[in-house]
Chains A and B, each alone.
Chain A
Amino acid sequence: MDYLANKYLRFRKTPSTACTGCGLGINHKAVLQAVYELGLEVEDVVWGTSIGCAGRQTFGMWKGDGFAGTHGRVYAIARGLRLALPPEKKIILTVGDGDAFGIGLLHLIHAARSNADLTVVVNDNLGYMSTGGQYGWTTPLGTRTDSSPYGMYEQNLVREGMDVLGVLQHAGATFLARHVSMDGSRATGSIKKAIQNKGLSLVHMIYPCPTNFGSRELGTRDALSIYNWIRERSAPLEKAGEDTLWATGVYHDASNSRPEFSEDILKNVEKIRRAAAV
């Protein structure tokens, strides 16, 4: 990651304060690799983050301009910012699952509805791990966390027919993909497509948390155990079986098929302004 770190990351913020064995760095690298392969420079991107593990660990690492929003609100901030920035400027948001699919879901749905040109990478460690390890909205059924000591029995947003990616697709998102940290270049490929889409793109990235999720569900903080546990439950979309929790790949690609939020609004404003000036 040296060449990526040298090019894009602040020395002041590296190495991160993530726990030993945390998979977030792999996700972060996949995003940077995608940015690099697209030939983007530091000045081409404004980087937004949120709260929790994903927010704290990615805030301020990007050498360029960046911000961290409050709980779940980063999509509303980013929509406002989108309207103010030139269209060629990319906004990349690295957020957590609680932020995106819990407290921020309404704002995310409206970002999808309006097709705002944002790339949202949801780093999902299967619950609220920053606050000690409570269940979230994508925590697999039956798994133990600090707030599901008998095993998660609440309905969640990754079940068949209730997939949050389906919700976002119906809300109007124009690019949706899902990966696990270990997907390597496949994940990078999806993130590249996400960044290239002029509209709301979201890549859901499952990543291992040995410290909290691993220790509660598997009884060990051994990083390899939770990496293997996730790997065994994931498969590419075309190979997904009944036991597959996370089918990986591109779920929905309607890139550049709908008007983009800010361009659309600015076009209309310009039309009204001209009419008023006549």
Chain B
Amino acid sequence: MKRYLETGNFAITEGAILAGCRFFAGYPITPATELAEAMSLRLPQEGGIFIQGEDECAAMHLCIGAALGGYKAMTATSGPGYILYADPYGWAIGCEIPLVVVNSGRVGPVSGITGAPGQGEFYLTRYPTQGGNFETIVLAPNSAQETMYMTVKAFYLAERFRTPVTILADQLITDGFEDISVPENEGEMKEMGFEVYPRRVNNGPVFYPPTDEIDIPPVVLGKNTGALCSDWTPTEEGYDIEEVEAHHKHAYRLIYKVRNHRDLVEDLYEKTHMDDDPDLVVVSFGTPSRVVNTAVKKARAEGLNVGALRLRHIWPFPDELFSTPRKYLCVELNWDGQLVREVQRAAPKDAEVHFTGICGDLPSIADLLETFTKILQGKALERQGWKMEAW
């Protein structure tokens, strides 16, 4: 095992290589550029290919083409680029193409603040393309080391579910320097929980089974299997068709192959002080969760009955974690509150769901402690101008 003081981008690059990724296409955008640069340096050393696309749309399509030819492929971008992935994302979902997509979140909308972290793409990762009728898988790391693990996991899930998988990080994770351990052999990989799933070839003629079955080999072109895939609603053999019944079958598969096999994803929760039924549960993902954890531990020391729940995967959404009618507080790196809406939907009617958000910077522990106290005392969260909006 080798230790480095390196960034999350380094961790993603090494994780991808360990997972068998040998193709990366991207388009420069802060703060995801460094990941593309790291890939351009490392991939050729491993016999892999780096390509800079003419735009984001091309970058993801290049990955799709390479994946269709049998490569494990990855791309990375930030919010303004992620929205340009909408077109190829839909194609990859519909054609069931395994792919890993990294979104290093920054402040938006549009260009916003290029060099500050944000979590404005919570919902965009759930609905990354038009048309609906699908489910997505999104992982949300909160450290460089975990980012490497999740990159390997993302490739594993992409292959088994035959779908693109998003890693929703933020700028603090991808650009921040941390202590990182990289496994050097299979034994060390196993020890660290890294599991690699091989690329397989669909030998046709069936393009998809109209069931929720997973572990179906993906379409690989060039093997003369007669494989077909397109942007139109497919028949089970892959032909284009304009019939609602065929679409229903295809949509059923795209939704339920993920929902009905959530056990493959669901080891990804982190609970802090949750064993004694806390009065207030603080919910977060990504880097804010690190501050939340410290604040919750501090609150406990001060006698507040608070627990923390960190979502390490955010889609499919873990509704069951919010079945207890109690007080919830969502802490997010945005002003508008996105995770909170989903928690409110999943929580029972008599639960209290609160939100506090800050964009471009992490919340302070002092502010969080004050917020915990107010909620526990039943006081309303005061509006403090633009600083903190009661949701």
Contacts and interface: CB of A to CB of B under 8 A. Distances in A.
B23 A83 contact: yes
B227 interface: yes
A247 interface: no
B198 interface: no
A268 B90 CA distance: 33
Interface stretch (A69-77, A185-193, A210-218): A69-77
B47 A269 contact: yes
A12 to B, nearest CB: 7
Contacts of A66: 221, 227-228
Contacts of A265: 49, 51
A81 B221 contact: yes
Contacts of A269: 43-44, 47-49
Describe A's contact surface by its main secondary structure: helix
B142 to A, nearest CB: 32
Contact of B222 (A69, A81, A110, A272): A81
Interface stretch (B29-37, B189-197, B231-239): B231-239
Contacts, number: 145
A140 interface: no
Interface stretch (A56-64, A172-180, A200-208, A220-228): A56-64
Contacts of A46: 221-222
Contacts of A69: 61, 91, 231
Interface stretch (B4-12, B68-76, B265-273): B68-76
B18 to A, nearest CB: 16
A71 B222 contact: no
Interface string B57-92: 110011111111111010000000000000110110
Contact of A73 (B44, B61, B230, B237): B61
Interface stretch (A20-28, A84-92, A142-150): A84-92
Interface in A239-278: 265-266, 268-270, 272-273, 276
Contacts of B25: 80
A164 B351 CA distance: 63
Contacts of A71: 87
Given A64-B224, A70-B231, A83 B61 contact: no
Contacts of B222: 46, 65, 81, 84-86, 89
Contacts of B58: 73, 76, 106-107, 110
B363 interface: no
Interface of B: 23, 25, 43-49, 51, 53-55, 57-58, 61-71, 73, 87-88, 90-91, 95, 221-232, 237-240
Interface of A: 12-13, 42-43, 46, 49, 51, 56, 59-60, 63-71, 73, 76-86, 89, 106-107, 109-110, 265-266, 268-270, 272-273, 276
Given A81-B66, A81-B222, 4 more contacts: A77-B65, A80-B61, A84-B69, A107-B54
29 contacts: A13-B239, A46-B221, A51-B231, A56-B232, A56-B240, A60-B228, A60-B230, A60-B240, A63-B226, A65-B226, A67-B229, A68-B231, A68-B240, A70-B91, A73-B57, A73-B87, A76-B61, A79-B51, A80-B23, A80-B69, A85-B69, A85-B222, A106-B54, A106-B55, A107-B58, A266-B49, A269-B44, A273-B44, A273-B47
Report, nearest first, the 8 A-B pairs whose CB atoms are least far apart: A84-B69, A80-B65, A68-B230, A76-B61, A276-B45, A272-B44, A43-B224, A81-B65
